[in-house]
C-alpha cells in the first residue's frame, strides 16, 4: 500500500540541494525507485519534504541507505518530525491536451 511521508528538517535549502545532488537527482527529474512523488517546501528555520512511496518498506530502505547518511554528511540532523500516512488514492500527471 502506498504511503505518504512528511519530514521536517532544520537546515537550509542549500543543504537540501547538496543531499539531492549526492543522490544523483535533478529538479523536475525522476526520483528514487519506488518513490511516486517528491516535493519540498521552505519552512521557518528549515524545509519540509513530502513524498509518496509505493510502500513503507521501500521508503524505510531508501531512508536508511540514502536519506540518513547523506543528510548527516550535509550537516543535517534527522528529521525533527517524521509522519507516515497510508494513501487511499493518488493521481499522476495529466496528459497534454
Looking up residue 23, the CATH number of its domain turns out to be 3.30.70.100
Residue 71 binned pLDDT confidence (cut-offs 50, 70, 90): very high
Number of structural domains the chain divides into: 1
Asked if residue 97 is part of any domain, the answer here is no
Residue 19: give the domain boundaries. 3-86
pTM for the complete prediction? 0.89
Among the listed residues 19, 6, 28, the one whose alpha carbon sits nearest the alpha carbon of residue 83: 6
Give the full edge-to-edge strand order of the sheet including 81-86: 35-43, 46-53, 3-10, 81-86
Q: What is the pLDDT of residues 46-56, one digit of tens each?
A: 999 999 999 99
H or E element that contains 42: strand 35-43
Give how far the C-alpha of residue 37 lies from the chain's centroid of Cα atoms, to the nearest Å. Answer: 8
Amino acid at each position: 500500500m502506498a504511503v505518504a511521508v512528511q519530514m521536517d528538517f532544520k537546515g537550509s535549502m542549500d543543504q537540501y540541494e547538496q543531499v539531492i545532488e549526492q543522490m544523483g537527482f535533478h529538479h523536475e527529474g525522476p526520483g528514487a525507485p519506488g518513490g511516486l512523488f517528491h516535493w519540498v517546501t521552505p519552512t521557518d528555520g528549515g524545509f519540509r519534504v513530502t513524498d509518496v512511496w509505493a510502500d513503507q518498506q521501500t521508503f524505510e530502505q531508501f531512508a536508511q541507505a540514502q536519506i540518513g547518511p547523506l543528510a548527516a554528511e550535509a550537516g543535517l540532523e534527522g528529521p525533527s518530525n517524521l509522519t507516515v500516512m497510508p494513501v487511499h488514492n493518488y493521481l499522476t500527471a495529466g496528459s497534454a491536451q
